Structure 1
Amino acid sequence: MTDVADLGAASDADPRTAWSERQRRAEAWFQELRDQICAAFEELEDELAPPQQHADRPAGRFDYKVWDRTDDSGAPGGGGRMGLMRGRVFEKVGVNTSTVYGTFSPEFAKQIPGAAENPQFWASGISLVAHMQSPLVPAVHMNTRHIVTSKSWFGGGADLNPMYPVDADTADFHAALQRACDAHNPAYYEKFKAWCDDYFMIKHRGEARGVGGIFYDYLEEDWDADFAFTQDVGRAFLEIYPQLVRRHLQEPWTEENRQHQLFRRGRYVEFNLIYDRGTTFGLKTGGNVEAILMSLPPQAAWP
């Protein structure tokens, strides 16, 4: 593993020259997966047909914005690429990749494995949240990441957030993730499913955010195996989620459905602003606020 003390060193004209081959491979994969997902989502935009609501609108396309980050020391601290689409199938979907590095604040370093010994860090990943026009098409979240401090690990997962849960959708989403898990370790699925159920609990309401999926973190046993697993999680998501969208794409919905959708989105907002660790990590490390908060829906309501 690259010595984290070299990451973002002021003596380097380009801090990326200090990155290890493994880190470059991880970053390249997250970018490749982003491009594949964005292409698949644009295909879904093309498929909506009359008389479905919004079918008379132009198909959505992603707008991309590149952003740079400056570390607390004033040195270059990496950055990312934010992809945002507002379409006729996807009311708002963000697919973001970033690679950031620098030094954690002393307070935040205490919360990150390996950072108390050395506060310098490197992190790369992909993060995706999709909020749909149709209340009958499930919203979804997926992210995977690789973080390096004096330790090195992978984390991530995916969870489905339907407004109206459908048993077949839930079963197929979980089955796709289970296949990815079982290909690497038979114990992964039950462990990571339970972790997801616990993590995505809205504790102040005593209810789950959605119908679950998997969540994992601090995977550091074998770099190549852990990276391969992380790739398969991304591939499983890319395989199953467009299938679920197509199942419900042409189903008509009502204003009553829409109001229910807005109330459920309120729960999503509550979780992300109060409990989500990714939101906290991004804000504490000086990330792009617009990209961090792209997870929030364009509209929400509370009773």
Structure 2
Amino acid sequence: MLNLFFAGQGAQFPGMGKDLAEADPEIMALFDKANDVLGFDLKKLCFEGPAEAITRSDVCQPAIFTVSMACHAAFRKRCDVPADAAAGLSLGEWTALCAAGVLDFETTLRILQARGKYMQEACEAKPSGMISIMGATPEQLDAICAGSGCTVSNINSDSQQVISGTHEAVAKAAELAAAQGVKNVVLQVAGAFHSPFMTPARERLAEFVKDIPFGTPRIPVLSNATGAFHENDGEAIKAAMLRQVDSPVHFSDCVKAVMKPGALFLELGPGKVLSGLIRRIDRANAVANVQDTATLEAALPKVTA
């Protein structure tokens, strides 16, 4: 069983996608197409940085999507083993839908440029933040949220969640967690993603996509909003993807839905964040990743084994 998992925001780094593109003119053409669609030199930002330029949501989201699709294209040129399921973390779910044929490359790119812009502007309109909570019991997590005013944004595993709120709420959550001996890390992010702070972004994105047709997936795709598979209906998928903007990401449930004997989780895109999360959910999970030519060569024998 082959599960394709696509990278989310925060995985970006200068140089991502460069060696895959330099090794294959068709991959390079994908970056050139992205430049044409977006109206700026995304390729240069991906290949050269600077790092601060690719951290903004309006650049980061189309950048990671393009690199992830480049990784997928490079993998597919070398391997025809069919995928049994696809998923992603936040923006990576959009990449999964594109890889599954629900949307084409250009349309997804335009949606993510808008999504990133609206989310960035929502962050700037109401300053907010996020904090990772590690090793808390459900009761401790509830107490930290109740005492700070934070809400849950990401359920990455049974032992790691991300909560969000105003900067004051995040600081209070850190204080409450420390008082209970719970490990926590305040995240360096633009704002409180997957929370009510993003509702204005969801409403604007709904207007942007209202006339865009969504197809049906060629392979099953998991929904962050529910942790279960998307319905086989384009309008239902669109509604779920809008809901994803300001509701919690059930990443752990997505992984558990496809955890079966012999399954391989293949992470496509920059970095190895998802591979780490998937292994944290169950150390027995087999993982591989493709982010450059070296990791592609290392992954192929695992997929075809």
State the TM bucket, normalised to the shorter chain: under 0.3
More helix by share: 2
More RCO (CA 8 Å, sep 6+): 2
**Structure whose alpha-carbon radius of gyration is higher:** 1
Q: Taking structure 2 as the reference length, what is the TM-score of the superposition?
A: 0.28
